[in-house]
Structure 1
Amino acid sequence: MEQQHTLHIVDGSSRARAEQAHLGFDIGHHCEVYADVDELIAAAPDRGVVIACDEEGRGSVAQVLRRLAYAGLWLPVVATSSDPRPGRVVAAIKAGALDYLRLPLQVERLAETVVRIAEEAEAYGIARRKMIDARNRLATLSPREREVLDWLAEGRSNKMIARELAISPRTVEIHRANMMSKLGAHHAAEAVRLRIEAHLDGVQASFA
């Protein structure tokens, strides 16, 4: 028998919430429903999978993820929409959603997604915390310090970065030192690792 998981369903439509909860119960999981992310945060669940609507007028998954991170709730999030347009799907995945399901939900697809993601919830939480921490640190950098870090990640030396940015090697050293200090990095590899953990080069990978 498959393990029961808790589905936290966030949707501005009471009918949609009821339909999704009914389906979740049918496949053997416990469901909690919320009209918006504020209700979810007030409940402060420490486990489960969030199923969040990503449609105009009914909520944004990116907003849900931001709010959960701010509240220190590291739950895996799955986006849902009756019209999953490519742009919204990409935006949701970039924000940290682990999957994107079309409404109305299909039993097989939902069951597979919940089991896969729930099994990796702990790893997701750790990775998500690292990503948010890395992004917060990188946000403290000046544009020039960020450029130095980007070129450093490409394996460029100070002299090579100086040529790329049309500044002196000494100026690169100053920006590099400031960058390392702000990031709390003790060596270049640690600064580059933070940049990678921030997932700023493209769509965040699913933990499939």
Structure 2
Amino acid sequence: MADYPVYLVDDDPSIRRSIGFMLRTSGHTVHTFESGTQLLGEVERLDPGCVVIDIRMPGPDGLDVQEQMRKRAITFPVVVMTGHGDVELAVKAMKAGAIDFIEKPFDKRQLFAAITEAWRRLDDNDRWRTRREEAQARLKPLTTREKEVLEGLVKGHPNKTIGYDLGISPRTVEIHRANLMSKLDVHSLSDLLRVAFMAGVGETDEIPGKD
């Protein structure tokens, strides 16, 4: 399992010092932030890592930061720190995608267990990203027309509808479809669609790499 950095966010300097010291002496790389605003100002330039953040802070709190990261498609796993009586907020954070919450004062082992789970998530993200990049690379040799036909197949359209939309005959669509399967080295429509979905076709208006 890879060793990712920990991004510690808390407006209390004593918390940043104590938790930061505990993590560093256990071999972790730690970057501290005094506010959610500071983290959000830098997060897009940071290497993938685990965000450990206080749920109650002036300005953007832990929930706000989590939501802003989601909107920016930043998939760093989040562990929220809560004070006594903040369990309801912690539940909201978990529903919004946080991987765990820890109550202050917390046990060292509980924090380390949460960070370990975050690293597992990051490893999974890396594997998923690699598979997506490989699938996108497989689509690059396709012609513009073949990519347009593939988009139609991803939408579930039959050859006749795809042909109508593109101004070509259903027979021509069938030829492009056969070429798609040959170039992508697949033997069924379901396998073709798996490659397309993994590459992200259908998630936006245009196919990845489309001219």
TM-score range for the pair, normalised by the shorter chain length: 0.5 to 0.7
Output the amino acid matched with 2:34. A
Aligned-residue CA RMSD (Å): 2.8
Unaligned runs of 5+ in 1: 127-183, 188-208
Kept in 2: contact 1:50–1:78 (CA 8 A): yes
2: CA distance, partners of 1:70 / 1:19: 31
Q: Percent of aligned pairs with the same residue?
A: 18
How far off is 1:104 after superposition? 2.7
Q: CA deviation at 1:64?
A: 1.0
1:28-86 Cα shifts (integer Å, max 9, x gaps):
10100011222223323131100010126475322111111233321000000122533
2:5 corresponds to which letter in structure 1? T
Which residue identity lines up with residue 11 of structure 1 in the other structure? D
Match of 2:6 in 1: 7
How far apart in 2 are the matches of 1:77 and 1:102? Answer: 14
Tell me the equivalent position of 1:26: 25
1:95 aligns with 2:89: no
Indicate yes or no: 2:35 matched with 1:36: yes
Which residue of structure 1 lines up, in the alignment, with residue 84 of structure 2? 83
**2: distance between equivalents of 1:78 and 1:84?**
17
Three-state SS of the structure 2 residue aligned to 1:120 is helix
TM-score, normalization by structure 1: 0.54
TM norm structure 2: 0.53
Partners of 2:93 and 2:125 in 1: CA distance: 16
For the Cα contact (< 8 Å) 1:6–1:30, is it kept in 2? yes
Structure 2, unaligned stretches of length 5 or more?
A: 129-153, 158-211
Map of 1:54 onto structure 2:
55
The answer to whether the Cα contact below 8 Å between 2:36 and 2:61 also exists between their aligned partners in 1 is no
* Paired residues of 2:3 and 2:119 also in contact (CA < 8 A): no
Q: Specify whether residues 14 and 96 from structure 1 end up closer, same or farther in structure 2 by C-alpha distance, changes over 3 A only.
A: same
Aligned to 1:109: 110
Q: Relative contact order (C-alpha < 8 Å, sep 6+): which is higher? A: 1
- Other structure's SS at 1:79 match: strand
Q: Is the 8 A contact 1:24 1:31 kept in 2?
A: yes
